Structure 1
């Protein structure tokens, strides 16, 4: 009871601060800023510096391919080991990258502020792996190239849904990371979370049925989006330092 009262008081202070403080237009955690620059640098290098042959070799060794896991590991290199993570640093186009950056700024920032750099690194790797883990169940053995940070972005969205909306439904861009993490029952009873989650899943199902595409990256790995979101939503508590 004392912990709940303290959390409520802290949350109220944070929301009061929102009213008193003018939020800057651009205020990202340094770790997230570094990641965004890294993603841009990789795509710029691939687009403007590497030859088509070298870029194709890079994709072969660092993108995720479901078909890789139908080949005995003794008959191939070690790319099967790191590609469930490294694919998330590659993108199919500038539109694809910019789309992911936009949503990473919106939902990744509060998550990164809350969990810190070390937990961020682990969250990124595991959410990326969880995303393609679900994708490969639907595309086992297929020669499909999967690239992009969309699975991780979806993980950020699932994690953010657990705390960026206060019990009253309000959301603060700068101070949301101070909110108490909602329990699963509170989350399911929060109208803002339910609307956000319903719209998110509806959008991905429309993508799955070909109603429209997003991100300018051609075929959309919607299964990876769902895998990342479910990972962030259900397992964020393992990374959250604010008990």
Structure 2
């Protein structure tokens, strides 16, 4: 039963914003836009490595797409799956950081995910969409924090200072999570495509690594330690 004073929806405002934004975008694409216009949306706002390889114009064209792709989704199951993971890992992180730092963190990890995806396969014609690169960054940040949360708050936020690399390596739980996460991403990405569509494991890894190392640049308000 919900305790008095506890929020009805236990999500950070930033997470609610992103869920509504992404859901609205996909609703418009699914029910309003004709196929031709939807293809234009994908051309301009999805990340396509092959286009980024077409000289300076292609690279500039894909600079914003390296972020906006994270707001697009390929299907409703794709959106709902990402929404669940965003709520689990994104909300405690957004509550720790605050809204605007979290938005900047989203941009940085989404861009890093696309950049790593491009570095691995720069001439791929595949279309990269979905928030999973940024969400992987949130998982990387949660790993760096050892999944510690402040249980005194009604809305539980990740707490504590980021662990040093040595501390991470000495934590069996954290190392086990990283290994299992990496193996599952490689298996699903390389051998188990979903619905005929390959999973962008490169983007997931790029986002995870970025989130792990960028977290100290986004300290909790009032924190004294990186």
Normalised by the length of structure 1, the TM-score is 0.81
Shift of 1:174: 4.4
CA distances 1:20-79 after superposition (whole Å, capped 9, x unpaired): 9997674001111111111100000100011011101110111001111222234x6953
Distance 1:171 1:99 in 2: 26
Q: For the Cα contact (< 8 Å) 1:155–1:232, is it kept in 2?
A: yes
Alignment RMSD (CA, Å): 2.5
Query: How many residues in Structure 1 have an aligned counterpart in Structure 2?
Result: 218
2:135 equivalent among 153, 165, 168: 153
Residue of structure 1 in register with 2:70 after alignment: 88
Shift of 1:139: 1.2
Residue of structure 2 in register with 1:236 after alignment: 215
Residue of structure 2 in register with 1:175 after alignment: 156
* Structure 2, gaps ≥5 residues long: none
* Structure 1, gaps ≥5 residues long: 1-19
Q: For the Cα contact (< 8 Å) 2:72–2:130, is it kept in 1?
A: yes
Distance 1:30 1:22 in 2: 17
> Structure 1 residue 46 and structure 2 residue 29: aligned?
yes
Distance 1:58 1:155 in 2: 25
Residue of structure 2 in register with 1:188 after alignment: 169
1:136 equivalent among 111, 118, 122: 118
Q: For the Cα contact (< 8 Å) 1:92–1:217, is it kept in 2?
A: no
Cα distance change, pair 125–231 in 1 and its aligned pair in 2 (3 A) = same
Normalised by the length of structure 2, the TM-score is 0.87
Larger radius of gyration: 1
